[in-house]
């Protein structure tokens, strides 16, 4: 985190100097090797877990624009997708939004953070529809996908959950402002083991989102009770007034989804967030660290808990 | 204790094996020298008393019999008894011819008169000089007097030594406007940058756009990109040896300038005339200072950025045989970012400090001795404060070093150098400390320690009229010491306890075969070992990048350089030309693993992968040294690549700084005594980069999938800069001199790509995404004006 802030400020310093800079658009060359498979799948244990699911797509070439047909066309249909927890092997069923009843469609779309009325692409997932699998903490889960004669595999582990504590709102730092609040909370990090955390946030019942920096490991605070601020993901977006960065609005309600994950899962999000934040004049590329064998993406386990509060102090 | 440790293991065995040979050679040389007489002394600038480094002394009747002054301006030449006509010469100075009867040992101090005082053209009238580049064994060695650097066009008027050396063949820039440089396919950390013998670990200001070397305080710059003599060690690719001025020991003088982004002032003068002098030189930027009244009215009041340099030097001549030098450098970049509304304060100071104490002693006319005590400290610090959150990041390198060197001039056939150096290193990785509310936190990284020793001997041996050999041997030893806890065995080591020892014997051999008076064929082999490493995850090095020592995890980098060159001087040395071919093999190279994330909480060594590299190329160079029009043309055809088993399965990929073609044209022309024009043109193959090949959706956002590392190139880089130096009426007075330098950087406004980035706008609900890739160029046509003055 510290180095990210330093990098951001160094980049800002450069930006100050680049007032004379000039941008030219260009088109990168097309890959000679064709598309790759992309897996995005999660399995949750803990409070109110979402059923295990996998989204299977193909990569796009670098186009100037992508349209709904291209997005819809990127989903891979008819794959054999299964999850094994050591003893039990469960085959996931492919479901597309267009197959669902309006009620179910609304429910599923909300879970993925979409407004079902404005969704222009036909979203398809492989899902444990019947709820055969009951994911548990401190257990590993193997994913196996067979499609177009290719085998894609991955393994993830759901660690023991470490809940949030002492969740409260405070006045933001700096100039007094009674319409904004910062969310503070703490955790009691278990000593001696590496723990990896991620959070999602939502306000007023909206979809859960992640901020630009949503993951952290405990190397700084291993075994300690550690207090920290959690940003409001919505106010970390680039179009928001910098004075409101990361803050909540008094009177809103907020929901935090707090997750533990294994190292490979953390590495994926850590490299993803570093890569997105680290574009600039001195940046090198960062390849996302995937646990998928035979493709890109992530097969990630979470142990989760949810916290809903009214924004007030 | 340190010396005892040094003489152990392989080093002791090898040195003991070699010692009888050295003693025999010494004895042979000394016996051959009996019955001869020695002419010795110092060669100085008449006006300032500054000693001249690399000045030439040779016999008028036979230019091949001669020698050069050493780093301290001392020369010694031993000849049979007789009457000789000696020629003393130095680039840009009027030659001095003196008849001397050598019937006893003589000490003659020579004062040369500069032919370029405040004129803007360095006319190296080398007609009477010896063909040093043809006669000597040195390869890939270029000396640049500062006055020569000052007449070339510069970015925003800032005269920059590091940017000038990038104009030499085999040297490439780290990027547009960058003072960082790469030599013959080596990494940025493989250049040994010395300022009065002290290592400068970060030679850039403002993220590397300007070098830390204030040209007003610098006397001489020597770049050795090939045959690194045994006297130097610790880096694989090159040596940049920069000597500060000593200060005028004749009279008080002031020099300075006012430019667009900085001003500078140098004061120098005698403390005791002709025995002692001082120099104090300062430079500071002020762009943001001028903007403070505007910034103060915004939410960012208190935000500022500046950098400054302070160079000082004192020297005292106790006797004809003893002289003491004390020199120092202190420079800092200081960035402060404040935002009142959010109660944010961010401070980022970083920079170097060096100090060198040297004692020169003449044991006799042929034996020169120097003892140096050297201290250098590079610190990078960043702090962030916002109400309950505070953190500090600190990293740095601190060295304490002692060395002694002997220069022995037994005859005109031999020049022997030997010496010993010991350095204690303390290297601090990024250590993060801070607190969030009442919880304090600190990263697990700890400083690392090491002892580095080097012993060397070299002889520049002239066997006959056509064959000359420079044979050198450098033995090095590095000890990683505690306090340290082994990552392999978990053993805890106490302070000073040895954790891991590495040693190396590095032969350096160069042979010069004269093909005629004006041409020669040279070849050489250089072995080098590097115990400290800087690995950057950036396209260029940044101030936050950390140096790490060799350790139980990180092996020393090792390199071998093979070079062959043909050297030809034309038209009475009016032109010098060379073609050099080189092949360099690099072992135990270091890079970050793929998917490395710089989060400061890990030990960076855990993120390293190790591999090998190679570089090879052809360098063409022709320089015109005399007349109103002079300059050089350089061209390099080269390739450098790297292989790491843990990166892309061991695929061989070109290094970021691989340039197939690199051409520079540098010239200046004296239009009249008050007007000089300068021009620089650069053309180079585009830098390699790793392209975005595919896109995919994760978490409702587009992500990038990159192609093979460095598999694409930017478009070719080219640029032309021009300058005009004008001495106004009255500007050439004896007491007060001044000139105006008008410079235009990138005169035809070439949009060279500095970096690329991609920008996505995604609305997955609507199934829309706009993806754009951009190339960004930073320096368009940039005019600048600088006023320089000198009062004496």
Specify the range with the lowest mean pLDDT, choosing from A48-62, A238-252, B632-646: A238-252
CA angle A191/A197/A203 to nearest 5° reads 135
pLDDT of residue A191: 93
- The answer to whether A165 faces chain B, any CB pair under 8 Å, is no
Which residue of A9, A40, A286 is in closest CB contact with B698? A40
Task: Please tell me what DSSP assigns to residue B753.
Answer: -
Which residues, 6+ apart, have CB-to-CB distance to B687 below 8 Å? B175, B539, B656, B657, B659, B713, B714, B717
Contact A226 B430 (CB under 8 A): no
Q: Which of B204, B294, B764 best probes binding to A when mutated, by most A CB atoms within 10 angstroms?
A: B764
The parts of chain B modelled with pLDDT lower than 70 are 1-34, 116-131, 538-541, 600-602, 731-733
Share of chain A above pLDDT 90, in %: 51
pLDDT of residue A24: 84
- Residues of chain A positioned with their CB less than 8 A from the CB of B707: 31
> How far apart are alpha carbons B331 and B334 in whole angstroms?
10
CA distance A87 to chain B (A): 30
- Written as one string, the DSSP assignment of B196-240 is TTEE-S--EEGGGTEES--GGGEEEEEEE-S---TT--S-SSEEE
Residue B364: which of B607, B131, B78 has the closest Cα? B78
> At A17, is the pLDDT very low, low, confident or very high (cuts 50, 70, 90)?
low
> How far apart are alpha carbons B726 and B709 in whole angstroms?
48
Share of chain B above pLDDT 70, in %: 92
> How far apart are alpha carbons B259 and B257 in whole angstroms?
6
Which residue of B340, B751, B768 is in closest CB contact with A24? B751
Which residues, 6+ apart, have CB-to-CB distance to A239 below 8 Å? none
Three-state secondary structure call for residue A19: helix
Please report, to the nearest 10 degrees, the dihedral formed by the alpha carbons of residues A235, A236, A238, A241 taken in order. 50
Residue B264: which of B181, B184, B158 has the closest Cα? B158
Report yes or no: B545 and B575 within 8 Å, Cβ to Cβ.
no
> How far apart are alpha carbons B476 and B528 in whole angstroms?
10
Paired tokens of B78 = 């031993």
Residue B762, strand partner residues: B769
* Chain A residue whose CA is closest to B441: A220
Residue B584 φ/ψ region, left for φ over 0, alpha for ψ in the -120 to 50 degree band, beta for the rest: beta
Paired tokens of B555 = 């092996």
> How far apart are alpha carbons B527 and B183 in whole angstroms?
16
Contact B598 A3 (CB under 8 A): yes
Residue B132: which of B57, B79, B78 has the closest Cα? B57
- Residues of chain B positioned with their CB less than 8 A from the CB of A243: 341-342
> How far apart are alpha carbons B475 and B189 in whole angstroms?
21
- Written as one string, the DSSP assignment of B267-323 is EEEEEETTTEEEEEEEEEE-HHHHTHHHHTTSTTTT-EEEEEEEEEEEEEE-SSSEE
CA distance A215 to chain B (A): 12
Paired tokens of A134 = 């009951």
- Give kind and range of the element (H or E) at residue B170: none
> How far apart are alpha carbons A22 and B776 in whole angstroms?
6
Contact A25 B774 (CB under 8 A): yes
- Residues of chain A positioned with their CB less than 8 A from the CB of B755: 280-283
Which residue of A2, A29, A184 is in closest CB contact with B391? A2
> At A118, is the pLDDT very low, low, confident or very high (cuts 50, 70, 90)?
low
- Residues of chain B positioned with their CB less than 8 A from the CB of A113: 700
Contact B599 A60 (CB under 8 A): no
> How far apart are alpha carbons B342 and B388 in whole angstroms?
12
- The answer to whether A26 faces chain B, any CB pair under 8 Å, is yes
Q: Which of A32, A173, A217 best probes binding to B when mutated, by most B CB atoms within 10 angstroms?
A: A173
pLDDT of residue B700: 79
pLDDT of residue B190: 94
Which residue of A74, A119, A271 is in closest CB contact with B765? A119
Q: Which of B546, B598, B702 best probes binding to A when mutated, by most A CB atoms within 10 angstroms?
A: B598
> How far apart are alpha carbons A13 and B593 in whole angstroms?
28
Residue B376: which of B192, B198, B194 has the closest Cα? B198
* Rounded-to-5 percentages of helix, strand, coil across chain A: 20, 40, 40
> How far apart are alpha carbons A302 and A258 in whole angstroms?
9
Report yes or no: B197 and B358 within 8 Å, Cβ to Cβ.
yes
pLDDT at A268 over 90: yes
Please report, to the nearest 10 degrees, the dihedral formed by the alpha carbons of residues B436, B438, B439, B441 taken in order. 70
* Chain A residue whose CA is closest to B392: A2
Residue A23: which of B778, B538, B760, B175 has the closest Cα? B778
Q: Which of B187, B342, B646 best probes binding to A when mutated, by most A CB atoms within 10 angstroms?
A: B342
Which residue of A28, A40, A272 is in closest CB contact with B773? A28
CA distances A69 to A12, A31, B115, B761, Å, are 38, 21, 76, 17
pLDDT at A91 over 80: yes
Total-model pTM: 0.87
Three-state secondary structure call for residue B606: helix
CA distance B545 to chain A (A): 11
Paired tokens of A17 = 């100097």
End-to-end CA distance of chain A: 27
Alpha helices in B366-515 (DSSP H): none
CA distance B270 to chain A (A): 42
- Give kind and range of the element (H or E) at residue B773: strand B768-777
Contact A59 B696 (CB under 8 A): yes
pLDDT at A186 over 60: yes
Which residue of B388, B769, B777 is in closest CB contact with A66? B769
> How far apart are alpha carbons B592 and B535 in whole angstroms?
7
Contact A173 B393 (CB under 8 A): no
Question: Is the torsion defined by CA of B64, B69, B70, B74 positive or negative?
Answer: positive
Paired tokens of B541 = 């090095």
> How far apart are alpha carbons A112 and A209 in whole angstroms?
10
CA distance B405 to chain A (A): 41
- Mean per-residue pLDDT of chain B: 87
- Residues of chain B positioned with their CB less than 8 A from the CB of A22: 751, 776-778, 780
Strands A180-188 and B575-592: unpaired
- Residues of chain A positioned with their CB less than 8 A from the CB of B772: 25, 64
Which residues, 6+ apart, have CB-to-CB distance to B182 below 8 Å? B171, B172, B173, B174, B188, B191, B237, B657
For the segment A90-108, the average pLDDT, to the nearest whole number, is 85
Which residue of B441, B597, B699 is in closest CB contact with A271? B597
Residue A151, strand partner residues: A146
> How far apart are alpha carbons B418 and B404 in whole angstroms?
8
Q: Chain A window 104-143: which residues touch B at a Cβ cutoff of 8 Å?
A: 112-115, 118-121
CA distances B359 to A50, A145, B322, B393, B740, Å, are 76, 74, 7, 38, 39
Question: Is the torsion defined by CA of B724, B728, B733, B735 positive or negative?
Answer: negative
- Mean per-residue pLDDT of chain A: 86
* Chain B residue whose CA is closest to A218: B601
> How far apart are alpha carbons B434 and A124 in whole angstroms?
46
pLDDT of residue B238: 95
- Written as one string, the DSSP assignment of B67-117 is EE--TTSEEEEEEESEEEEEEEE-TTB--EEEEEEESS-EE--EEEPBS-T
- Give kind and range of the element (H or E) at residue B358: strand B344-364
- Residues of chain B positioned with their CB less than 8 A from the CB of A297: 696, 698
Between A6 and B453, the more confident residue is B453
Exposed (0-12), middle (13-18) or buried (19+): which is B104, by Cβ within 10 Å? exposed
Residue B777: which of A25, A30, A29 has the closest Cα? A25
- The string over A191-212, giving b where at least 16 C-beta atoms fall within 10 Å of a residue's C-beta and e elsewhere, is eeeebbbbbbbbbeebbbbbbe
> How far apart are alpha carbons B211 and B193 in whole angstroms?
11
Q: In which residue are the tokens 């977006």 written?
A: A237
* Chain A residue whose CA is closest to B781: A20
Q: How many interchain CB pairs under 8 A, A with B?
A: 261
Contact B695 A59 (CB under 8 A): yes
Share of chain A above pLDDT 70, in %: 90
pLDDT of residue A13: 52
Contact A38 B697 (CB under 8 A): yes
Length of chain B: 792
State the ipTM, two decimals: 0.90
Exposed (0-12), middle (13-18) or buried (19+): which is B559, by Cβ within 10 Å? buried
Q: Chain A window 236-295: which residues touch B at a Cβ cutoff of 8 Å?
A: 242-243, 245, 267, 270-272, 274-276, 279-289
> How far apart are alpha carbons A302 and B366 in whole angstroms?
77
- The answer to whether A40 faces chain B, any CB pair under 8 Å, is yes
């Amino acid at each position: 985190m510290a180095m990210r802030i330093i990098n951001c400020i160094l980049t800002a310093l450069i930006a100050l100097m680049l007032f004379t800079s000039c941008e030219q658009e260009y088109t990168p060359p097309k890959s000679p090797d064709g598309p790759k498979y992309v897996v995005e799948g999660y399995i949750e244990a803990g409070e109110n877990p979402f059923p295990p699911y996998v989204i299977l797509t193909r990569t796009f070439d670098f186009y100037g624009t992508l349209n709904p047909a291209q997005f819809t066309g990127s989903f891979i249909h008819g794959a054999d997708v299964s999850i094994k927890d050591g003893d039990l092997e469960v085959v996931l069923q492919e479901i597309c939004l267009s197959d669902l009843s309006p009620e179910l469609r609304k429910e599923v779309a909300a879970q993925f953070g979409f407004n079902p009325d404005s969704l222009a692409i036909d979203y398809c997932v492989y899902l444990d529809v019947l709820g055969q699998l009951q994911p548990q903490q401190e257990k590993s889960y193997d994913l196996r996908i067979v499609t177009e004669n290719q085998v894609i595999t991955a393994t993830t582990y759901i660690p023991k959950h470490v809940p949030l504590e002492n969740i409260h709102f405070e006045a933001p730092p700096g100039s007094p402002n009674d319409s904004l609040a910062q969310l503070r909370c703490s955790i009691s990090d278990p000593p001696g083991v590496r723990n990896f955390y991620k959070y999602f946030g939502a306000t007023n019942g909206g979809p859960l989102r992640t901020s630009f920096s949503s993951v952290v490991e405990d190397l700084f605070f291993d075994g300690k009770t550690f207090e920290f601020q959690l940003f409001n993901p919505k106010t970390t977006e680039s179009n928001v007034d910098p004075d409101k960065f990361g803050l909540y609005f008094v009177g809103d309600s907020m929901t935090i989804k707090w997750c533990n994950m294994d190292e490979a899962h953390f590495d994926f999000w850590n490299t993803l967030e570093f890569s997105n934040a680290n574009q600039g004049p001195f940046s090198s590329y960062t390849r996302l660290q995937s646990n998928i064998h035979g493709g890109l993406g992530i097969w990630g386990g979470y142990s989760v808990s949810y916290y809903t509060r009214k924004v007030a102090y | 204790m340190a010396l005892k440790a040094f003489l152990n293991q392989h080093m002791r065995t090898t040195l003991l094996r070699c010692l009888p040979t050295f003693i025999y050679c010494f004895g042979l040389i000394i016996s051959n020298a009996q019955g001869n007489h020695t002419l010795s002394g110092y060669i100085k600038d008449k006006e300032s008393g500054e000693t001249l480094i690399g000045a030439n002394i040779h016999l008028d009747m036979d230019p091949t019999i001669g020698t050069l002054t050493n780093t301290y301006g001392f020369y010694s030449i031993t000849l049979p008894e007789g009457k000789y006509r000696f020629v003393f010469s130095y680039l840009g100075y009027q030659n001095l011819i003196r008849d001397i009867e050598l019937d006893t040992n003589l000490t003659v101090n020579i004062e040369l008169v500069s032919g370029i005082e405040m004129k803007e053209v360095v006319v190296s009238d080398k007609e009477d000089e010896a063909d040093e580049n043809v006669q000597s064994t040195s390869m890939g060695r270029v000396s640049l007097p500062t006055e020569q650097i000052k007449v070339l066009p510069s970015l925003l008027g800032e005269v920059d030594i590091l940017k000038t050396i990038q104009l030499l063949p085999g040297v490439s820039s780290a990027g547009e406007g960058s003072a960082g440089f790469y030599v013959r396919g080596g990494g940025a950390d493989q250049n040994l940058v010395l300022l009065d013998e002290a290592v400068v670990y970060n030679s850039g200001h403002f993220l590397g756009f300007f070098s830390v070397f204030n040209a007003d305080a610098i006397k001489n710059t020597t770049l050795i990109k090939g045959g690194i003599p045994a006297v130097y060690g610790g880096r694989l690719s090159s040596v940049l040896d920069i000597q500060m001025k000593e200060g005028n020991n004749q009279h008080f003088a002031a020099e300075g300038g006012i430019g667009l982004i900085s001003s500078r002032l140098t004061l120098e003068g005698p403390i005791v005339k002709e025995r002692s002098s001082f120099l104090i030189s300062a430079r500071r930027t002020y762009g943001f200072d001028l903007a403070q009244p505007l910034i103060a009215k915004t939410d960012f009041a208190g935000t500022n950025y500046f950098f400054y340099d302070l160079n000082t030097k004192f020297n005292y001549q106790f006797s004809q045989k003893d002289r003491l030098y004390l020199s120092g450098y202190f420079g800092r970049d200081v960035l402060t970012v404040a935002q009142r509304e959010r109660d944010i304060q961010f401070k980022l100071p970083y920079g170097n400090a060096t100090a060198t104490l040297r004692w020169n002693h003449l044991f006799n006319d042929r034996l020169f001795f120097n003892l140096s005590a050297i201290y250098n400290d590079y610190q990078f610090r960043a702090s962030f404060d916002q109400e309950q959150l505070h953190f500090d990041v600190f990293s740095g390198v601190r060295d304490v070093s002692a060395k002694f060197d002997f220069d022995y001039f037994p005859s005109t056939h031999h020049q022997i150098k030997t010496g010993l150096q010991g350095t204690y290193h303390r290297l601090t990785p990024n250590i993060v400390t801070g607190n969030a509310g009442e919880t304090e936190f600190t990263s697990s990284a700890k400083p690392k320690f090491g002892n580095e020793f080097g012993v060397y001997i070299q002889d520049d041996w002239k066997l006959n009229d056509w064959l000359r050999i420079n044979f050198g041997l450098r033995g090095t030893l590095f000890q990683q010491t505690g306090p340290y806890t082994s990552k392999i065995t978990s053993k805890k080591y106490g302070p000073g306890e040895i954790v891991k020892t590495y040693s190396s014997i590095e032969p350096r051999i160069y042979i010069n075969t004269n093909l005629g008076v004006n041409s020669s064929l040279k070849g050489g082999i250089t072995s080098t070992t590097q115990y400290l490493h800087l690995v950057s995850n950036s396209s260029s090095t940044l101030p936050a990048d950390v140096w790490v020592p060799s350790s139980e995890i990180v092996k020393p980098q090792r390199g071998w350089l093979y070079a062959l060159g043909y050297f030809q001087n034309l038209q009475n040395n009016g032109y010098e030309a060379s073609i050099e071919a080189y092949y360099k093999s690099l072992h135990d190279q270091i890079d970050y693993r793929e998917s490395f994330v710089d989060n400061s909480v890990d030990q960076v060594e855990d993120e390293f992968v190790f591999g090998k590299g190679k570089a090879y190329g052809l360098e063409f160079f022709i320089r015109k040294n005399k007349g109103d029009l002079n300059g050089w043309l350089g061209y390099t055809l080269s390739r450098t690549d790297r292989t790491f088993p843990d990166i892309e399965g061991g695929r061989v990929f070109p290094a970021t700084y691989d340039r197939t073609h690199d051409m520079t044209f540098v010239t200046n022309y004296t239009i009249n005594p008050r007007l000089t024009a300068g021009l620089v043109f650069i053309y180079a193959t585009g830098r390699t980069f790793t392209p975005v090949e595919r896109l995919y959706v994760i978490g409702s956002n587009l992500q990038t999938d990159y192609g093979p590392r460095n598999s694409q190139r930017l478009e070719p880089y080219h640029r032309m800069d021009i300058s005009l130096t004008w001495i106004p009426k009255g500007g050439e007075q004896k007491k007060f001199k001044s000139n105006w330098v008008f410079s235009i950087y990138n005169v035809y406004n070439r949009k060279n790509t500095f970096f690329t980035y991609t920008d996505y706008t995604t609305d997955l609900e609507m199934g829309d995404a706009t993806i754009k890739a951009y190339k960004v160029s930073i320096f368009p046509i940039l005019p600048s004006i600088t006023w320089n003055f000198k009062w004496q």
